[in-house]
Structure 1
Amino acid sequence: MTTKSDMGEKLYSCEVCGSVFTSKQSVAIHMRTHTGEKPFSCEVCGRSFTQKQHMLQHMQTHTGEKLYSCEVCGRSFIQKQYMLQHMRTHTGEKPYSCEVCSSSFTWKHNLVNHMRTHTGEKPFSCEVCGRNFTRKHHLVIHIRTHTGKKPYSCEVCGRFFTDKRNLVIHIRTHTGEKPYSCEVCGRFFTRKKYMVPHMRTHTGEKPFCCEVCGRLFTDKRNLVKHMRTHTGEKPYSCEICGRFFTDKPNLVIHMRTHTGEKPYSCEVCGSSFIQKQYMFQHMRTHTGEKPYSCEVCRSSFTWKHNLVYHMQIHTGEKPFSCEVCGHNFTRKHQLAIHIRTHTGKKTFSCEVCGHNFTRKHNLVIHMRTHTGEKPYSCEVCGRSFTQKQQMLPHMRTHTGEKPYSCKVCGHSFIQKHHMLQHMRTHTGE
């Protein structure tokens, strides 16, 4: 069917969909989208095309020929339009703008994908589980979770991946490459999505808010993990013992308690650790570093939790309470040990004599009565002791220190129980 434009130009329209073209040849090419005809085939791989120019462009993927080069960086392209689009990375041009939020994009397809964040459209659906996606390649990658297909493999360690992008990121663990850097402190990152939350530590921005308690987060992933503290959800489970965890890293660390793996080693003494942070904390025993200081008395501590416990001395806080007798404790494990005085439970047993103990620490000390071990020695006379608390009073016989005084007569004593015995001479007890 032919018509004429306002300018008198002859127009040709498609009889199937009504699309209008300026030439009869263009209509003929367009009709192939309806008939499925692809008359031009690649002699190398057999792939077919509706137009000859598309087939010729495709042939360059076999020959390696790239006719169009970027004048700025020298990168070459098969098609001129690809080279022109690439030039925008140098000029910063973003000609495609969102009418809703005014975000700009270098490529048209990025704008199309972005618009779906406003419309909520997810046109690509998984036939297996029904899950919908905004982009076709996201669906393709998802399908592999059903088929188990992992077409991308690491040449270094042989690990397989469903997505090429994940392989590229993984390769950086071997090369050490960290292409994204913070403009403020210069810290480098393997992935851009790791750098973006880090930048917020400088700006103070926390755009993700918990709807339950109002706590703010710099990273959406941290918000998701935090929400599980409210819901109680623990989606990651150990296949060996069935224990559940709120996040995958904690599961990975837990699995090492079963495998015995300790991938982090101290360069000084060779001690190995399950977690990297434990290794760093251990290093302080060599360096003598005590980074946690009490603001009240200036005492310093190697570990943060020791500072927390120490602060309770100043505040008098004892947050752990016995439900049986109401006795309060500064530490949870002290409460757990105390509870055994009510239940009579003695979970730690001596393999030599069968004696039972409520605390593991007491069992360790008891075992020395069998082994004869005395690990604490006086630096002055060399006398050895099974417990540190036995050695400390002994040291006072050398220093002359008598820290316990009678409130009645002022007499001083090396040990507290000696002072208590003396007090009975006054009370007549």
Structure 2
Amino acid sequence: MKMTTEEKRHACNDCELTFSLDNELKMHKEAAHENRTKKGCVCKVCGSFLSYKSNMTAHMRTHTGEKPFACQICGARFSQNAHLVQHIRTHTGEKPYKCDVCTSRFSHKSHLKGHMTIHSGEKPFGCTVCPSTFARYFYLKIHMRTHTKEKPYSCNFCDATFAVKSHQKSHMRKHTGERPYCCTVCGSGFAQNSTLKNHLQTHTGEKPFSCKICDSVFARSSNLTLHMRRHSGDEPYSCNVCGSSFASNAHLETHVRTHTGEKPFSCSVCGTSFSQKSHLETHKRIHSGVKPFSCSICGHAFTENSSLTKHMRVHSGERPYVCSVCGSSFANNSNLQKHLWTHMRERPYSCDACELTFPYKTNLKKHIRMCKNICGNT
């Protein structure tokens, strides 16, 4: 999406290039007009100042989209060889840049530079619209798009647009199927480095994020954030249809499907669709025959963890579902619901031949078998 004239309201008096941010204009003036060297040159497209004319060829590729450098492992292409070298490290895991203060290591020098501001606390780049300050100019530039609503990066396959280029690249992998981040333990590939990091914790068992209120620990900070809302009761995500509120946006999105009827997750074997991905994964076990949940006492296996939980009550004798009328207890909720019908005198199952009614479907089946000759059932 191109910026409008109104959005690019900061114009350079020397070369008439315009910029969306006042800080961009100041940096352009300082580099291109005040401190220009004889060897330097200015890009006529964006106004960037380059110390050496030899750098102009590589710089222009950011405008033309040319990417002559290709990764031999995954096929990803880059406009500069330096970017290809950095990318290769996502495959090799190499992190040559080490922080002198802590043990953190980085694959990019710029990432180390940004990390060092955590220790110094320095945030020299301030937003001209709100009080926010940032350690790097790059972060400020991205932040400003929350004010201008600018989304300059477009998907080549659909109409999606993005404020951040990295978000566009991650999105594009949904279309291309590219998974450049590989697990060195099991070989699994992932579209995003953050997803790979989360996956690696399944091998190490590491759970570095702990709750300060209870003893719960988590592999991801996002899971800790959600957990803390259980203590605080905070539910910041609200349904526009019924007003129900939720602790996470993912839970809200799942809930909204109860209103829309949307079932975006389809089984590739039989075509059955589901509103939740977890329900699809459980369903797929019907086709594969996989039963990953096993009883530690008798070895009986189940496709769902909830089925194993119910089964374990056979061994423990636990009956957590209690009738509020007579105090009878049951191992599962379905048996409690059947029992409650005896109090309500509800008999929902009826014989089509003789109109007798029964509280349970099993009673009706027995009746049909015993009386099929008298009632005329076949």
TM tier relative to shorter chain = 0.5 to 0.7
Unaligned runs of 5+ in 2: 1-29, 372-378
Q: CA deviation at 1:58?
A: 3.9
* Contact kept in structure 2, 1:38 and 1:48, CA below 8 Å: no
Unaligned runs of 5+ in 1: 1-31, 345-355, 375-385, 398-429
- Describe the shift of the 1:150–1:334 C-alpha distance in structure 2 as closer, same or farther (beyond 3 A): farther
- Describe the shift of the 1:339–1:211 C-alpha distance in structure 2 as closer, same or farther (beyond 3 A): farther
Aligned to 1:391: 365
* Contact kept in structure 2, 1:151 and 1:161, CA below 8 Å: yes
- Describe the shift of the 1:255–1:299 C-alpha distance in structure 2 as closer, same or farther (beyond 3 A): same
AA matched with 2:246 = F
AA matched with 1:180 = Y
SS at match of 1:251: helix
Partner Cα separation in structure 2 for residue 298 and residue 47 of structure 1: 70
1:199 aligns with 2:173: no
- Describe the shift of the 1:153–1:394 C-alpha distance in structure 2 as closer, same or farther (beyond 3 A): same
Partner Cα separation in structure 1 for residue 78 and residue 88 of structure 2: 15
* Contact kept in structure 2, 1:48 and 1:55, CA below 8 Å: no
Per mean C-alpha deviation after superposition, the further-off stretch among 327-336 and 302-311 is 327-336
Q: Provide Cα deviations, 1:109-161, integer angstroms capped at 9, x if missing partner.
A: 44432221112333333333423332222222222222222111112111111
AA matched with 2:234 = E
* Contact kept in structure 2, 1:153 and 1:159, CA below 8 Å: yes
Q: CA deviation at 1:278?
A: 1.5
Per mean C-alpha deviation after superposition, the further-off stretch among 267-276 and 297-306 is 297-306
* Contact kept in structure 2, 1:180 and 1:192, CA below 8 Å: yes
SS at match of 2:231: helix
Q: CA deviation at 1:223?
A: 1.7
Aligned to 1:158: 159
AA matched with 2:154 = S
Aligned to 2:264: 263
Per mean C-alpha deviation after superposition, the further-off stretch among 166-175 and 303-312 is 303-312
1:234 aligns with 2:235: yes
Partner Cα separation in structure 1 for residue 325 and residue 253 of structure 2: 38
1:116-195 to 2 correspondences below 5 Å: 116-195=117-196
Partner Cα separation in structure 2 for residue 293 and residue 141 of structure 1: 49
1:107-118 to 2 correspondences below 5 Å: 109-118=110-119
Give the length in aligned residue pairs.
326
Partner Cα separation in structure 2 for residue 311 and residue 76 of structure 1: 55
SS at match of 1:141: helix
1:28-107 to 2 correspondences below 5 Å: 36=34, 42=42, 44-45=44-45, 47=47, 53-54=51-52, 57-58=55-56, 61-62=59-60, 94=96, 97-101=98-102, 103=104
AA matched with 2:264 = P
Question: Which structure has the larger Rg over C-alpha atoms?
Answer: 1
- Describe the shift of the 1:143–1:306 C-alpha distance in structure 2 as closer, same or farther (beyond 3 A): same
Aligned to 1:276: 277
Partner Cα separation in structure 2 for residue 54 and residue 201 of structure 1: 48
Partner Cα separation in structure 2 for residue 196 and residue 121 of structure 1: 28
Q: Provide Cα deviations, 1:78-119, integer angstroms capped at 9, x if missing partner.
A: 89xx69x979979x794x653322545576544432221112
- Describe the shift of the 1:146–1:331 C-alpha distance in structure 2 as closer, same or farther (beyond 3 A): farther
- Describe the shift of the 1:214–1:44 C-alpha distance in structure 2 as closer, same or farther (beyond 3 A): same
Partner Cα separation in structure 1 for residue 126 and residue 119 of structure 2: 19
Partner Cα separation in structure 2 for residue 311 and residue 125 of structure 1: 59
Identity of aligned residues (%): 39
AA matched with 2:208 = P
AA matched with 1:183 = T
- Describe the shift of the 1:332–1:117 C-alpha distance in structure 2 as closer, same or farther (beyond 3 A): farther
* Contact kept in structure 1, 2:95 and 2:108, CA below 8 Å: no
Partner Cα separation in structure 1 for residue 289 and residue 35 of structure 2: 78
- Describe the shift of the 1:393–1:332 C-alpha distance in structure 2 as closer, same or farther (beyond 3 A): closer
Q: CA deviation at 1:279?
A: 2.3
* Contact kept in structure 2, 1:264 and 1:275, CA below 8 Å: yes
* Contact kept in structure 2, 1:41 and 1:47, CA below 8 Å: no
Q: CA deviation at 1:206?
A: 1.7
Q: Provide Cα deviations, 1:210-244, integer angstroms capped at 9, x if missing partner.
A: 22212222222222222222222222222222211
